[in-house]
Chains A and B, each alone.
Chain A
């Protein structure tokens, strides 16, 4: 049983290696980028704004908000144009690209 599974792992390793070579010869030159960047960045907001932006408390939901509005709010907080208790401090942690990804993700979430 033990032998068998070891053999299986080796066989799979070979299969996987050939798959990788076939699929993406450049994979070893440059690290591939996760296609879930927006989702992963937006997940940071859920602690206060709810899972996928659906708040169950007094803090506003972000789900379904227009991306352009979320981007403006984040940049206004970040650039000191909008006062806040905490968002003006947190918004400074994100660059334009990250803010755009987060806003786009929430715009696509069901309310």
Chain B
């Protein structure tokens, strides 16, 4: 039934013709009756999910679909590997990629802030007043923070001091600067919210990277991990081995560390149990939910926090013709909120959207795989991997039994592969 939604397009196509795209191609099969304009896909968010979806829809539809990518940033900055900027072995330039590589696919790029959409008229609204009509809208909005739970971080000023640096970019650099400015003998404390949050191993990798930096530059300094969870959420054995081995005496891990609030002026955590805790550099990852455009437009239909989708098409179960990717999703069992996973979501969604808009068959047996590398220092790396398949009875993705696993220990080979992974996944999205 979805294949004729594209007929319902809003007729203001003139302003949106895509530069570099080939002339309108007739769409084969019955569904082409009476149609002249190409179906339009508008994608919001040029991260791992959205940029991948844009590229693969353009590539797989062979010019039959108009693709527009809306992204607020001028360049892509990778969250994976951003902890290495904190450790000092990479710069922000090393983990940034321009969006220009997408131009050769005929993708129209719009730099702007998407604010909402009219689901009936099928038009996306940007903050600057731009209106983009769509047949299918794909949102890859990432996460935003549940700041209502931490009033002390309500102001931009407070959040500029007690950083999260959980969206790679200027905050990554600012947190690195706080670390380099800290006196030797100081304490870096990272507070981890209760799962689920973006990048389960990320906070623990960050602790390793800061510890590695301290060992070289500030050997009297300490890393304090304050985890609201009962235990290390990801790669527990591998991280604990590093903290009890290579970083013994530098890293201290504490579980069940829930906080009531943050006092940014004094770099202090107000703990739910126990005394207030002050750090020289305080890094707080606030609780997370689906990105603003999803939560402000009724797509967060799982605990008002995450978005539920049909795992065959990634179409929202709340709003028709709107698809959602990446960290914003109510994840399937054992599926991490990772960039790698979002890239894979992007491809399954791309295949489905191309099928829906060209009268083709939607794949009913999608699979996705995950690979998460974590850097212990600048060269030694560990991974966790998993393979997931669609289960028709449960209507969700389930892990393939027996597949996946962890590294036995940090190793140099995976350091090479992790850097190679970054090059390839960035290219897979953006060039």
A residues in contact (CB < 8 Å) with B: 1, 5, 8-9, 11-13, 15-16, 19-20, 23, 31-37, 39-41, 43-44, 46-51, 55-59, 85-86, 89-94, 98
Contacts and interface: CB of A to CB of B under 8 A. Distances in A.
Interface in B400-431: 400, 402-405, 407, 411, 413-414, 416-417, 419-425, 427-428
Contact of A35 (B33, B34, B361, B413): B361
B358 to A, nearest CB: 11
B174 interface: no
A5 B34 CA distance: 12
Contacts of A37: 363, 365
A82 B286 CA distance: 43
A51 B101 CA distance: 13
Interface of B: 3-4, 7-8, 11, 29-31, 33-34, 55-56, 60, 340, 343-344, 347-348, 351, 355, 360-369, 371, 383, 385-387, 389, 400, 402-405, 407, 411, 413-414, 416-417, 419-425, 427-428
A33 B366 CA distance: 11
B340 A15 contact: no
Contact of A9 (B4, B360, B365, B387): B4
A85 B33 contact: no
A48 B385 contact: no
Nearest to B56: A43
B369 A36 contact: no
A51 B427 contact: yes
A36 B347 CA distance: 12
B236 to A, nearest CB: 17
A43 B347 contact: yes
Contacts of A86: 371, 383, 385, 407, 414, 417
Across chains A and B, which 9 residue pairs bring their CB atoms closest together, nearest first? A93-B387, A19-B30, A57-B420, A93-B403, A34-B363, A57-B423, A92-B403, A89-B405, A58-B420
Contacts of B424: 46-50, 55-57, 59
Contact of A8 (B29, B34, B404): B34
A12 B367 contact: no
B361 A58 contact: no
Of A5, A9, A12, A98, chain B has the most CB atoms within 10 Å of the CB of A12
A33 B30 CA distance: 18
Contacts of A98: 367
Given A48-B425, A57-B420, 6 more contacts: A8-B7, A9-B8, A36-B355, A50-B427, A89-B385, A93-B369
